[in-house]
Structure 1
Amino acid sequence: MFTGIVQAVGEVAGREPRKAGLRLTIARVPFLDRVRDGDSVSLAGVCTTVVARGDATFDVDVVEATLERTTVGSWRVGDPVNLEPALRAGDPLGGHMVQGHIDGVGTVAAARWKGGSGVLEIGLPDGLEEVTVPQGSLAVDGVSLTVNRLSGTIARFAIIPYTWTHTTLGRLVSGASVNLEADLIGKHVARALRPHAPPAES
């Protein structure tokens, strides 16, 4: 479990294709001293498991199912990546409950700095707008954000300067792909209500 409060922007230091997927080496990890083999770490919103730790890096394995559902397969050596260690009992829940289970990949429709804050507009993949609400939460590349406005399948966010500069969000450009995870509670409520929805008119 994570909170969507990014602790650092790391870097992809190694990328090794494997029969079952991909092994990534992650560098520039300021919380490396608390990372152990078997620990969960969020990489751009994707929950991964540490399989090895070096003096200044850690490795994770990514399976085909994750590569198909996220942006991880497009990462290259040198790419920046948002990092967050797993939540510990007693840690502050500064964002919202994030599982690290990506619901889909969105496309950046606009990313700009305006009037002292960042403005981000993201096209949602099919179905995600049904569990996305204005003033609700959405994790974008692992960052807990509040939906400022929802117009059809376009979600708009107003982002404070700290988040804009201390995560990868400030580096996004139109057309970029981002990992999206909808609010956990909203997804379960929507699923519970689905059988009780009135039939669609023919």
Structure 2
Amino acid sequence: MFTGIVEELGEITAVENLGDSCRFRVRGPVVTEGAKHGDSIAVNGVCLTVVEHDADWFTADVMAETLDRSSLGALAEGSRVNLERPMALGARLGGHIVQGHVDGTGQVLERKPSENWEIIRISLPADLTRYVVEKGSITVDGISLTVVDAGPDYFTVSLIPTTLALTTLGIKQPGDPVNLEVDVVAKYVERLLANSGQGAGQ
């Protein structure tokens, strides 16, 4: 479980093709501190498992399913990535509950800079629109953000200078893909309401 508060802007230093999967080598001295084989680290919002590690890097295997359903397949040597370790039990929840399970991908459509912040418009897959509401939470490339405007096939987020400086959203351009994870609470509520409706009809 993660919070969507990015700890470090890391870098893909190698991509090894393993046929039906690949292995990333990721530089990230903050998140590798105290890391062990089998630990989880979120890379652009995708929960990956540490295979090998050293003082400032770790490797993780990425299966074909993950490459197909997320934007990780577009990463190459030199790509910058958002990194976060799992939240510690009893720690403050700075963002919102993030599972590290990508629901789909969107695409940066537009950037509107202003003096102290920037508005970014991102496309939204049709099957995810019902989970995205104005002022609700959404995870974009592993970053916990608040939805400003929720359209029929897009949403917007407002980014403060810290987010622009310390995450990949500071460098993403129109056309770039991003990983999306909707608020898990919305999915549970939908399931509960659906089950409640079935029960009432029996």
Q: Could you give the per-residue CA deviations for residues 20-40 of structure 1, whole angstroms, max 9, x where no partner exists?
A: 401000013323222111110
> Equivalences for 1:138-149 in 2 at 5 Å?
138-149=138-149
**Counterpart residue number, 2:183:** 183
User: Alignment partner of 1:164: what SS?
Assistant: helix
The one-letter amino acid of 1:89's match is L
Q: How much has 1:57 moved relative to structure 2?
A: 1.0
CA contact (8 A) 1:108 1:120 kept: yes
Amino acid at match of 1:36: K
The one-letter code of the counterpart of 1:66 is T
Q: Matched residue of 1:134: which SS?
A: coil
TM-score (norm 2): 0.93
In the superposition, the TM-score normalised over structure 1's length comes to 0.93
RMSD of the TM alignment (CA)? 1.4
Percent identical pairs in the alignment equals 38
Pairs within 5 Å for 1:22-61: 22-61=22-61
8 A contact 2:30–2:56 mirrored in 1: no
For residue 163 of structure 1, report the CA deviation from its aligned partner.
Answer: 1.0
1:33 alignment partner, SS class: coil
2:14 aligns with 14
Gaps of 5+ in 1: 198-202
CA distance in 2, matches of 1:31, 1:189: 33
| Number of equivalent positions | 197
What letter matches 2:106 in structure 1?
G
Deviation at 1:98, TM superposition (A): 0.1
Give the unaligned 5+ runs of structure 2. none
Partners of 2:126 and 2:68 in 1: CA distance: 16
What's the CA shift string for 1:73-119, capped at 9, x where partnerless? 11000000000001111221100000000000001111232131011
| Residue 110 (structure 1) aligns with | 110
Looking at structure 1, the residues matched to 149 and 115 of structure 2 have their Cα atoms a distance apart, in angstroms, of: 17
Taking the TM superposition and a 5 Å limit, the aligned residue runs for 1:188-199 are 188-194=188-194, 196=197
Question: 4+ runs of 1 displaced by more than 2 Å?
Answer: 191-197
Q: Distance in 1 between matches of 2:156 and 2:34?
A: 35
Secondary structure of the corresponding residue to residue 127 of structure 1: helix
Deviations along 1:169-188, one digit per CA (max 9) or x if unpaired, are 11111111100000010011
d(CA) in 2 for partners of 1:159 and 1:182? Answer: 18
Give, in whole Å, the separation in 1 of the partners of 2:112 and 2:21.
35
- The one-letter amino acid paired with 2:85 is P
Q: Return the letter of the residue paired with 2:76.
A: R
Once residues 138 and 42 of structure 2 are traced to their aligned partners in structure 1, the CA distance between those partners, rounded to angstroms, is 15
